[in-house]
Structure 1
Amino acid sequence: MEKIEQVLASGNTHATVNRNPNLQRGEFGVYDLKLSAPGVESLEFIATEPHPTAEKLFAGAWSACYTTVFGIAASLKKVTLPSDYSVDIQINIGQTGAAWFLGAQFTIRVPGLETEVVEAIARLAHQICPYSKSVHGNIAIGMNIVTV
């Protein structure tokens, strides 16, 4: 699997479980996009552009799935997640030589848990998530864990 040498475009998302459906944060030509997933209250992408790029749409779909599965993986490991955990995914499209590639960078924020615990949950979530499984071995995926 080759890594991108030159990033040409990126799409970013920030997904969190919305515990207050009346809270709106989008402004200045952006909106809050609420998605649903089986067994989850509500997933929300905060301040989404009105005309997202393909990279952002892919990041958004992957975020919705992965954020849901991250909660499932935590419950399988008998770990209680804080209510403010979130997943940011950046999808890059770029080139290495003449070849074109996708890459992904995850930032998982789980305040108050040990880094090793979050890493174990994240690995399990990638094994469960259909989006993660579909790209496994096809694109480079980086992981950044934030626990503060």
Structure 2
Amino acid sequence: MTKIEKVIFSGRTHTVVNLDPKAQRGDHGVVDIKLSAPGGDNHEFIAAEPHPTAEQLFAGAWSACYITALGLAASLKKVELPAGHAVDIQVDVGQTGPGWFLGAAFTVRLPGLAQDVAEAIAHSAHQICPYSKAVHGNIEVALNVVTA
């Protein structure tokens, strides 16, 4: 697996589970996409630029899958996910020498959980999520778990 030396493009997403259909969405001039997952959960891909890049779309699809896997991982560990849990993903396209590569960085927000429990759930979600499994060993994926 090759590490990116120079980032050329980045796509960022912030995904939350929205249980309130009246909740404030993104500002004017941005695209809000409601994503769905098996089981009928709605996920919000909020405030993307008006013309999302391939990196943003990939990050958005990955984040919808991953946040669903996060819920499954938590339920397997008999842990209730806290209100306000969220996933931020940045997908980078970059170069190392003449080669082009993808990389990803996750920030998983699980406020109020013990750090070790939150990290275990976040790592387990990568074992469940089909997107994570598809890129495993192919691209560098950094994981930051925030519990504060």
TM-score bracket relative to the smaller structure: over 0.9
- 2:98 corresponding residue in structure 1: 98
User: What is the identity, as a one-letter code, of the residue corresponding to 1:16?
Assistant: V
Deviations 1:57-113 (CA, angstroms, capped at 9, x unpaired) = 000000000000100000001111112100000000000011110000000000000
1:82-93 aligned within 5 A: 82-93=82-93
Decide whether the 8 Å contact of 1:24 with 1:32 is kept in 2: no
Unaligned runs of 5+ in 1: none
Deviations 1:102-127 (CA, angstroms, capped at 9, x unpaired) = 00000000000011111111111111
For residue 92 of structure 2, give the secondary structure of its aligned residue in structure 1. Answer: strand
User: What is the identity, as a one-letter code, of the residue corresponding to 2:11?
Assistant: G
Cα root mean square deviation, aligned: 0.9
1:121-136 aligned within 5 A: 121-136=121-136
Q: TM-score, normalised by structure 2?
A: 0.97
Deviations 1:39-60 (CA, angstroms, capped at 9, x unpaired) = 1431001112221000000000
1:22-61 aligned within 5 A: 22-61=22-61
User: What is the identity, as a one-letter code, of the residue corresponding to 1:114?
Assistant: A
Structure 1 position 65 matched with structure 2 position 58: no
Decide whether the 8 Å contact of 1:119 with 1:145 is kept in 2: yes
Q: TM-score, normalised by structure 1?
A: 0.97
For residue 145 of structure 2, give the secondary structure of its aligned residue in structure 1. Answer: strand
For residue 90 of structure 2, give the secondary structure of its aligned residue in structure 1. Answer: strand
Decide whether the 8 Å contact of 1:25 with 1:46 is kept in 2: yes
- Offset of residue 12 of structure 1: 0.3
Runs ≥4 in structure 1, deviation > 3 angstroms? none
Q: Distance in 1 between matches of 2:70 and 2:41?
A: 14
**Matched positions, count:** 148
For residue 20 of structure 1, give the secondary structure of its aligned residue in structure 2. Answer: coil
Decide whether the 8 Å contact of 2:74 with 2:121 is kept in 1: yes
- 2:75 corresponding residue in structure 1: 75
